[in-house]
């Protein structure tokens, strides 16, 4: 994320990166105020806006399997494409990396999404082991092959616990860890 949560990846209800001119185009075309466009981009876009159904990747994957809905397929494809694009950009900006880590709800629990994101990353030395990837749901594990130069892991996180710990540190006046 950048100055606001809109910068970055497509999220459940947030658009992610977009052309700045889109705000005035949408405002003009739809007769919306800048505040209404801001609300649209933050609360009705992302996976929800693309699919027209839900912001929950689990539900989108189930819907895709059951009905092969084109908007659902598009939402998942855009999500994975944008994640892959960011990984490639960061690898270039950092001059490479030892590993990438999938975490959070989707990263921890969706082998299908992890595989889609990593497809096309072979140029960076990343190769996903399909069996390891499928077996690593909700638990920590390496999902890349033994011969991968760029490793990949799925690592669960407890975001609420981290937020609670940081809040306690702030309340107690402790310095933030570096």
- DSSP annotation of 128: B
How far is residue 153's CA from residue 140's CA, in Å, rounded to a whole number?
Answer: 7
Q: pTM of the full predicted structure?
A: 0.88
Q: What is the pLDDT of residue 108?
A: 95
Q: Which fold has domain 97-178?
A: Nucleotidyltransferase; domain 5 (3.30.420)
| pLDDT tens, position by position, 107-154 | 999 999 999 999 999 999 999 999 999 999 999 999 999 999 999 999
| pLDDT tens, position by position, 76-117 | 999 999 999 999 999 999 999 999 999 999 999 999 999 999
Residue-range domain boundaries for the chain = 1-78, 97-178
* CATH number listed for the domain at residues 1-78: 3.30.420.40
Q: Which long-range contacts (CB under 8 A, 24 or more apart) does 56-61 make?
A: 56/12, 57/12, 57/105, 57/106, 57/110, 57/113, 58/109, 58/110, 61/110, 61/112, 61/113
Q: What is the pLDDT of residue 120?
A: 95
């Amino acid at each position: 994320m950048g100055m606001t949560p809109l910068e970055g990846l497509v999220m459940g209800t947030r658009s992610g990166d977009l052309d700045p001119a889109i705000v005035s185009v949408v405002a003009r075309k739809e007769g919306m105020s800048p505040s209404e466009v801001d609300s649209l981009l933050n609360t009705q876009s992302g996976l929800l806006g693309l699919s027209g159904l839900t912001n929950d990747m689990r539900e989108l994957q189930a819907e895709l399997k059951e009905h092969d809905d084109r908007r659902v397929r598009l939402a998942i494809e855009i999500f994975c494409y944008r994640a892959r694009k960011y990984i490639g950009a960061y690898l270039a900006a950092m001059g490479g990396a030892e590993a990438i880590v999938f975490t959070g709800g989707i990263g921890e629990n969706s082998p299908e999404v992890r595989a889609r994101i990593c497809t096309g990353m072979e140029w960076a030395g990343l190769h996903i082991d399909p069996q390891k990837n499928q077996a690593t749901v909700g638990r920590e594990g390496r999902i890349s092959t033994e011969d991968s130069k760029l490793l990949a892991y799925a690592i669960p996180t407890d975001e609420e616990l981290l937020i609670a710990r940081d809040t306690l540190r702030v309340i107690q006046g402790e310095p933030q860890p570096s």
